[in-house]
Structure 1
Amino acid sequence: MLRRWFFTGLVVLVPVVITIYVVIGLFNFADSILGKYINRYIFLYFGYKIPGLGIIFSVLIIVLVGIISSFLRWRIFKRLELLILKFPLVGRIYAPTKEIVRFLFSPSKPSFKRVVLVEFPKEGIYSLAFITGKSSKINQKTGKKMISIFIPSSPSPLTGFTYFISEDKLIYLDISVEEAVKIIVSGGMLSSSENFSQK
């Protein structure tokens, strides 16, 4: 009984502690970008520092840039972007970074549509995958109905593989994306026979 209570406590506390640790780390990192420069002058004249001031100024700058870009219809930023892309090394870093940020923060960002099983990495072995979309151009080239899927890694579903596969090779599962993520993160320990009902 004591052992069960101990592991139950771990299950409850460890995610909370890790979340708090990550949030504090992100807060300190974001605050240090501008905060150390601003607080240097505040401490010089007033003798104290204000935690979080760097984040406040960062948010204000982001909002200001958003307002300016909306009114100017991106003309200035488009010219600046074209200038950045002319530099080979800088352009290679900027372009994928922009796409990642746009994907993460766009209000109309795409999402995983369905959870499927796919035979991967070899015959007889199946992996969980998420349907991400379709491509009419690929369908025309291959003459098949191709589906784009994302096969996440375990235990971190943030990385993985993107493939285009014929739809008849997919096994659709009657589980949600959230349930699939739990299975992947836990290495399959949170799965059950009910999770894998085929639809």
Structure 2
Amino acid sequence: MPSFRKWLLAGLLVLAPLIITLWVLEWVVSTLDQTLQILPAQWHPDQLFGVHIPGLGVIFALLVVLFIGALASNFVGNRLVTWWHALLHRIPVVRSIYSGVKQVSDTLFSEKGNAFRKAMLVEWPHEGMWTICFLTGSPAGDVLNHLKAQPGGAGADDEFLSVYVPTTPNPTGGYFIMVRRSACQELAMSVDEALTYIVSMGVIVPGHSKKPPLKTLGTPAPTPSA
């Protein structure tokens, strides 16, 4: 029985990642293959070749994305995209959804975008418990005015930061919070390393790098006396 259990676990450790990877790839390929349905029936690969070839939808979707990207990069295409955005912003309901999605996509996919700027440590959800978060920016406007008006608001030597606290093992869900700069610590790891650490639920610890040790963004806490 001990050997049986050992072999079973060893087999699961080998097969589980492979099966999940193949399942995800199969779902992606089958989903993108549906993009071929926009072609006329006589141009459909199944009609031309007489057999279904998996993966042609992936190539077709990539070509469509590249074509739209090339079109949007020139002057005429840019004018068309601007006109399209203005049109969608005039449609009720659609305007609200499209505007929010557009802002997020611009932040995530733009070459100048920097959605997650730094990996940091923050006490969450209460004092004494720490978790990894990502710096996304700084609050401003009326939000910042209300934060400074709160008891113990940021003073001249402190400020508030906007951070994203992801969940594990799915970092696409999480919490957006605003904390004082002095309450955060910058980590000597890249954003990719921090994401790997989160997705693995702490199993995969980022290797030691030549970066400097943890850097406290605010005033370090006093060392308790002996």
| C-alpha distance in 2 between matches for 1:94 and 1:153 | 26
* Shift in Å, 1:79: 1.2
* Shift in Å, 1:24: 1.6
Contact 1:172 1:198 in 2 (8 A): yes
Question: What corresponds to 2:71 in structure 1?
Answer: 68
SS at match of 1:88: coil
Q: Which structure dedicates a bigger proportion of its chain to helix?
A: 1
* Shift in Å, 1:171: 3.2
User: Among the aligned pairs, what percent are the same residue?
Assistant: 30
Question: What corresponds to 2:16 in structure 1?
Answer: 14
Residue 154 of structure 1, aligned match among 168, 174, 177:
168
Write the letter of the residue equivalent to 1:101. S
Question: What corresponds to 1:121 in structure 2?
Answer: 125
Question: What corresponds to 2:34 in structure 1?
Answer: 32
Residue 99 of structure 1, aligned match among 100, 103, 109:
103
- Does 169-178 or 15-24 show the bigger shift? 169-178
Question: What corresponds to 1:185 in structure 2?
Answer: 199
Contact 2:160 2:178 in 1 (8 A): yes
Any gaps of 5 or more consecutive residues in structure 2?
149-154, 216-226
Provide closer, same or farther for how the CA distance between residues 23 and 104 of structure 1 changes in structure 2, counting only shifts above 3 A: farther
Question: What corresponds to 2:82 in structure 1?
Answer: 78
* Shift in Å, 1:95: 1.6
Residue 137 of structure 2, aligned match among 124, 133, 139:
133
Does 1:57 pair with 2:60? yes
Cα shift readout 1:142-165 (whole Å, capped 9, x = no counterpart): 354222211111221111112221
| C-alpha distance in 2 between matches for 1:98 and 1:17 | 34
* Shift in Å, 1:121: 1.6
Note the aligned Cα RMSD (angstroms). 3.4
| C-alpha distance in 1 between matches for 2:66 and 2:78 | 14
Write the letter of the residue equivalent to 1:116. M
| C-alpha distance in 1 between matches for 2:192 and 2:60 | 35
* Shift in Å, 1:120: 1.8
Provide closer, same or farther for how the CA distance between residues 50 and 182 of structure 1 changes in structure 2, counting only shifts above 3 A: closer
* Shift in Å, 1:135: 5.2
Provide closer, same or farther for how the CA distance between residues 6 and 172 of structure 1 changes in structure 2, counting only shifts above 3 A: farther
Corresponding residue pairs, total: 195
| C-alpha distance in 1 between matches for 2:22 and 2:94 | 35
Contact 1:84 1:91 in 2 (8 A): yes
| C-alpha distance in 1 between matches for 2:200 and 2:47 | 50
* Shift in Å, 1:28: 0.8
Provide closer, same or farther for how the CA distance between residues 135 and 65 of structure 1 changes in structure 2, counting only shifts above 3 A: same
Write the letter of the residue equivalent to 1:156. N
Write the letter of the residue equivalent to 2:81. F
Provide closer, same or farther for how the CA distance between residues 16 and 108 of structure 1 changes in structure 2, counting only shifts above 3 A: farther
Provide closer, same or farther for how the CA distance between residues 70 and 176 of structure 1 changes in structure 2, counting only shifts above 3 A: closer
| C-alpha distance in 1 between matches for 2:49 and 2:197 | 53
| C-alpha distance in 1 between matches for 2:188 and 2:25 | 34
